Amino acid sequence: MKVGIIGFGRIGKVHAESLIRYASGIEVKAIADPFISEESKLWAKANGVKEVYSDYEKILADKEIDIVLICCPTDQHFIVSKKAILSGKHVFCEKPVSHSVEEILEIKKLLEKYNVLYQVGFNRRFDKNFATLKEKVASGMIGDLHILKITSRDPAPPPISYVKVSGGMFLDMTIHDFDMVRFVSGEEVEEVFVFGGVMVDEEIGKAGDIDTAIISLKLKSGALAVIDNSREAAYGYDQRVEAFGSKGQIIAKNELENTTVIATKDGILSRTPKYFFLERYMQAYTEEIKQFVESIKSKSCTVCGVDDGLKPVLIGLAAKKSLKENRPVKIAEIEKEYGIKS
């Protein structure tokens, strides 16, 4: 099978390397990016990529290409997804499919008509630590789930230019955590309540967003979840999950720069968490691509489909409404706005 990658920034290159190194029977035939760098052109040549385009339409027109990876900016995900499906390509799309519920529903309808597979890039599902935690929760090891706690804090805030077009923290950053709540619990979210503020950078507030939040969620079973977010953790990329149940708890801790611990009369010192998201989740990025390819080979459903792309957006919209109106918001209320039946 042959692959075309649309968008060749950091994440496009990460996926290309995963395919080349770890996916058997796969050829990365083409990459496309209107701002392709000379460095990327040299990388493509050195790694056997035959075609480098500035226009992604050339990838969609290539009948030899079976699979398209969409790694371009978020505001292009919907239109490129639509065109790729209409071209008969299997699609891997980085999160989110769109910030628009209507556009995601349009993609869902298209997928019902076309015999292609579609996977959304929620990479944290494929992190070995979080995947193990989810497996243990599902096995009943800790009994009935009572509380799920997710900590997700970035090492530094994004540029204000990005904040302005990001869709807001809930649809940009926290969307990963909303997906993790669903993934780990195996349940749907029923209700959301948010406290949020601007504590990191006042420019983020001026751009109409927040940078710090505590989000409480009630699940269908009655179990509770709590997400805490910050755009800046001085000590590194803070990513932790704790599941607490009737028979015990499971904790997935941060991955550290190294596991050395120094103990002296002055105290005990260990290393800080990995700083950059690519360092922290490189294994997960590789695993999600491997599983996507295996889904195509086995003609089975992808492990993170378009519905999994839709649900976190609905939760994110409920979170935005909760923050704005200072009240709990049921997901059913958001679904009703878009004519979605639970």
Residue whose C-alpha is closest to residue 67's, from 14, 16, 5, 111? 5
CA separation for the pair 319, 305 (Å, rounded)? 22
Mean predicted lDDT score pLDDT of the chain: 95
Q: In what order do the strands lie in the sheet with 118-121?
A: 51-53, 27-32, 2-6, 65-70, 90-94, 118-121
What CATH architecture does domain 125-280+322-337 belong to?
Answer: 2-Layer Sandwich (3.30)
Check residue 22 and give its pLDDT: 82
pLDDT for 276 beyond 80: no
Check residue 218 and give its pLDDT: 98
pLDDT for 342 beyond 80: no
pLDDT for 79 beyond 80: yes
Identify residue 11 by its one-letter amino acid code. I
Domains of the chain: which residue ranges?
Answer: 2-116, 125-280+322-337
Identify residue 333 by its one-letter amino acid code. E
Check residue 280 and give its pLDDT: 83
Check residue 44 and give its pLDDT: 95
Strand partners, 149: 226, 242
237-263 pLDDT, tens digit per residue, is: 999 999 999 999 999 999 888 888 899
Check residue 298 and give its pLDDT: 94
What is the SS3 assignment for 122? coil
Which residues lie below 8 Å from residue 249, measured CB to CB, with a gap of 6+?
142, 242, 243
Per-residue pLDDT band at 92 (split at 50, 70, 90): very high
Burial of 340 per CB tally in 10 Å (0-12, 13-18, 19+): middle
With residue 128 as reference, give the H or E element that holds it. helix 128-139
287-319 pLDDT, tens digit per residue, is: 999 999 999 999 999 999 999 999 999 999 999
Two tokens at 77? 């995900």
What is the SS3 assignment for 221? coil
* Mean pLDDT (whole number) for 201-224: 98
* Mean pLDDT (whole number) for 144-165: 96
99-115 pLDDT, tens digit per residue, is: 999 999 999 999 999 99
14-73 pLDDT, tens digit per residue, is: 999 999 988 788 999 999 999 999 999 999 999 999 999 999 999 999 999 999 999 999
Two tokens at 333? 């209320």
Q: Decide which of 275 and 254 is more confident.
A: 254
Phi, psi of 87 (to 5 degrees): -85, 0
pLDDT for 5 beyond 80: yes
- Report whether CATH 1.10.240.10 matches the domain 2-116: no
Percent of the chain with pLDDT over 70: 100
Strand partners, 199: none
Check residue 272 and give its pLDDT: 86
Q: What is the DSSP string of 267-335?
A: EEEEPPBPSSHHHHHHHHHHHHHHHHHHHHHHT---SS-HHHHHHHHHHHHHHHHHHHHTS-EEHHHHH
Check residue 341 and give its pLDDT: 85
Strand partners, 213: 196, 229
CA separation for the pair 135, 127 (Å, rounded)? 12
* Mean pLDDT (whole number) for 311-337: 98
2-116 and 125-280+322-337, same CATH topology: no
